[in-house]
């Protein structure tokens, strides 16, 4: 059970609710984003991707999603019943980073094995989910970044829920570094079998705090109730 707490918005004085673990909150009434602990304005660029579905169109989104993907039962779209659909704006950190990994290792698929070295250098717009809790299903969201605009509370639907961040920027940068390094390790393993040395250097650019719309859909299929988070996909 979570205990909802409340502070006053430092900008307009309206109540701002938050749950334990949340550290950055956005006011529903004026869009002001503040750090809960200090009540100070948040220093980073805050963006939003708007939702373009009306609640009555979400059924189509869900049915299309149900029809795709080979792991889903063939009659899922026909035989399931949508019980609930809620629009949530989920927080992410979008981190610009250039990562350069230099490595040395051994290619063992030949006899005799060969020593190899190389470099992987890539530029990223890395997305980090700014939530720790698992109140909605964890899956990778393909966030359509082209639609990103400065956060505008007037465009946020009254029936939607804007989730607060549980991850601060420094943590997001740390997660970015770890995840990119893991991705590079995976790439390097295509080139060599044994890594002897590997070093990654990062050049971190701008970090943007971003709310993206996700429809949390609860449906019943053959007596089982499942929740799934769906995001509008880029054309
Ligand atoms: Zn406010």
Task: Say yes or no to pLDDT of 227 above 90.
Answer: no
On the question of pLDDT at 235 being above 60, the answer is: no
Q: How far is the CA of 172 from the centre of ligand 1 (A)?
A: 25
**29-56 confidence digits (pLDDT tens):** 999 999 999 888 888 899 999 998 888 8
pLDDT of residue 92: 93
Environment class of residue 183 by beta-carbon count within 10 Å: exposed (0-12), middle (13-18) or buried (19+)? middle
pLDDT of residue 232: 72
What is the 3 state secondary structure string of 14-79?
Answer: CEEEECCCCCEEECCCCCCEEECCCCCECCCEEEEECCCCCHHHHHHHHHHHHHCCCCCCCCHHHH
pLDDT band at 153 (very low <50, low <70, confident <90, very high): very high
Predicted confidence band of residue 234 (pLDDT cuts 50, 70, 90):
very low
pLDDT digits (tens, 9 = 90+) for 128-148: 999 886 655 555 667 778 889
Query: How far does residue 25's CA lie from ligand 1's centre (Å)?
Result: 10
pLDDT at position 2 is 62
- Residue 34 alpha carbon to ligand 1 centre in Å: 9
Average pLDDT of the segment spanning 153-158: 95
Distance from Cα 43 to the centre of ligand 1, integer Å: 16
Q: Residue 8: is its pLDDT beyond 80?
A: yes
Distance 33 CA to ligand 1 centre (A): 8
DSSP string, the chain: ----EEEE-TTT--EEEE-TT--EEE-TTT--EEETTT-PBP-SEEEEE-----GGGHHHHHHHHHHSSTTS-TTHHHH-EEEEEEEEEEEEEEEEEEEEEEEEEEE-SSSS-EEEEEEEEEEEEEEEE---S-SS--------GGGEEE--GGGS-TTSEEPPBSS-HHHHHHHHHHHHHHHHHHHHTTT-SEEEEEEEEEEEEEEEEEEEEEEEEEEEETTEEEEEEE-PPP-
Q: 85 near 62, Cβ under 8 Å?
A: yes
């Amino acid at each position: 059970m979570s205990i909802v707490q409340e502070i006053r918005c430092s900008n307009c004085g309206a109540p701002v609710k938050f749950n334990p673990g949340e550290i950055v909150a956005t006011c529903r009434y004026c869009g002001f984003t503040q750090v809960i602990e200090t009540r100070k304005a948040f220093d980073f660029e805050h963006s939003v991707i708007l939702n373009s579905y009306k609640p009555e169109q979400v059924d189509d989104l869900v049915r299309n999603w149900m029809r795709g993907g080979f792991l889903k039962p063939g009659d899922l779209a026909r035989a399931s019943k949508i019980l609930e659909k809620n629009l949530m704006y989920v927080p992410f950190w979008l981190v610009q980073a250039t990562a350069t990994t230099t490595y040395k290792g051994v290619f063992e698929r030949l006899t005799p094995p060969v020593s190899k070295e190389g470099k992987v250098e890539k530029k990223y717009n890395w997305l980090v989910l700014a939530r720790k809790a698992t109140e909605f299903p964890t899956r990778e969201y393909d966030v359509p970044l082209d639609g990103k605009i400065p956060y505008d509370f007037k465009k946020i639907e009254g029936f939607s829920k804007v989730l607060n961040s549980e991850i601060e920027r420094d943590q997001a940068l740390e997660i970015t570094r770890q995840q990119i390094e893991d991705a590079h390790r995976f790439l390097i393993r295509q080139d060599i079998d044994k890594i002897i040395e590997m070093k990654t250097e990062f050049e971190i650019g701008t970090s943007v705090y971003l709310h993206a719309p996700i429809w949390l859909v609860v449906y019943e299929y053959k007596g089982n109730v499942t929740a799934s988070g769906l995001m509008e996909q880029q054309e």
